[in-house]
Amino acid sequence: MDNSCSYTSPQVWSGIKESGSRFASINRPTAGPTHDKALPVGRHPLQLYSLGTPNGVKVTVMLEELLAAGHTGAEYDAWLIRIQDGDQFGSGFVSANPNAKIPALVDRSAPTPVRVFESGAILMYLAEKFGAFLPADGPRRAECLSWLFWQMGSAPFLGGGFGHFYAYAPTKIEYAIDRYAMEVKRQLDVLDRHLAESAYLAGDEYTVADMAVWPWYGTLVKGQLYDAGEFLQVQAYSHVLRWTNQVAQRPAVQRGRMVNRTMGALSNQLHERHDAGDFDTQTQDKLAAPP
C-alpha cells in the first residue's frame, strides 16, 4: 500500500469542496432548518417521519410487531422524508429532531405531544410505552440493552465508515476501505460468536435488540447492503445468517421493511402507511397500474 499523502490539513478548516459524493448535496457543517415546512399529521396517535433506510426500518418493524401483538394503540401514520431532497431540513422536521436525521416520532396520544428522535431511543420509548419486546427483569433487560446500544455504537463504522468509503466516496482510498472492512468483519465475528450460543441477541426471546441489529447486519450478511457480500465474505458468518433468516420470516418484519421504502421492487415499496390495508392497496406497483 502506498502510504504517501499529498494532503496536508490547513490550520483552520474552511469548508468542503465539491466532491461528487452521492450525499454531498445534503452534507453541511451547521444545524437548523433551511426552509419553512410544517410536518403533516394523520389520524393515529403515533406519527412517524422516516425513510426506509436501516435506521428507519428499525422503527417500522417495531410498530408492525406491536400491532401484530395486539397493541392497538401502536397504530401509526408513516410519512416519507426524502433525504436526498432535503426534507429533513424543513422547520417542522427539525422541530421533531434537531439533529435533522431520520427517523423522528411524535406521540400525540396525550394532550402534549412528545417528540422522540434517534432510532434506539424510539425503540426504547415504544417498548416501555407498550410493555413489549424489552425484558423487565434485570439480567435479561441488561443483555437486551447492551446489544441495542452495541448496535447504536457500531453501525456508524458500518454505514458512515465502510459503506461510505467502499460504495459512495468519489475516490477509492485503500487505507480507509481496509480500515473499516476490518472493523465490520470484527463486528460480524462478535455477532457470529454470540449467536452460536443464543437464538436471539438477548437470549431465547426476540426483542428490540434484534429489531435494531437486523436491518443493518442482517441485510449485510445477505449480500444486500453496499453490494459488499463477496468482498466481506459474508457467507462465513453462518450463525448470523441463521438468525437473519429467522427474523426475516416474521410477517411484521416483512411489512415493516416495506414502509417508507423507495428502492427495489415496486411491490415492496409502501411510500406512506396510514392503515393496515395500505399494504394491499397502496404499494407503488398498485399505484402505478393503469385504472
**Residue 259 is which amino acid?**
V
Q: Does the pLDDT at position 1 exceed 70?
A: no
Q: What is the CA radius of gyration of the chain?
A: 20
Report yes or no: 135 and 210 within 8 Å, Cβ to Cβ. no
The DSSP bridge pattern shows strands 104-107 and 46-50 to be antiparallel
pTM: 0.95
Give the pLDDT mean for 282-291: 92
Give the pLDDT mean for 204-219: 98
Give the containing element (helix H, strand E) for 248: helix 238-248
pLDDT of residue 271: 98
Residue with cell 433551511: 34
> What SS3 state is found at 225?
coil
CA dihedral sign, ordered 202, 214, 21, 117: negative
Give the pLDDT mean for 90-94: 98
Taking CA atoms, 240 is separated from 14, 110, 189, in Å, by: 43, 40, 9
- The three grid cell numbers given for residue 198, joined into one nine-digit string: 443464543
Mean of per-residue pLDDT scores for the chain? 95
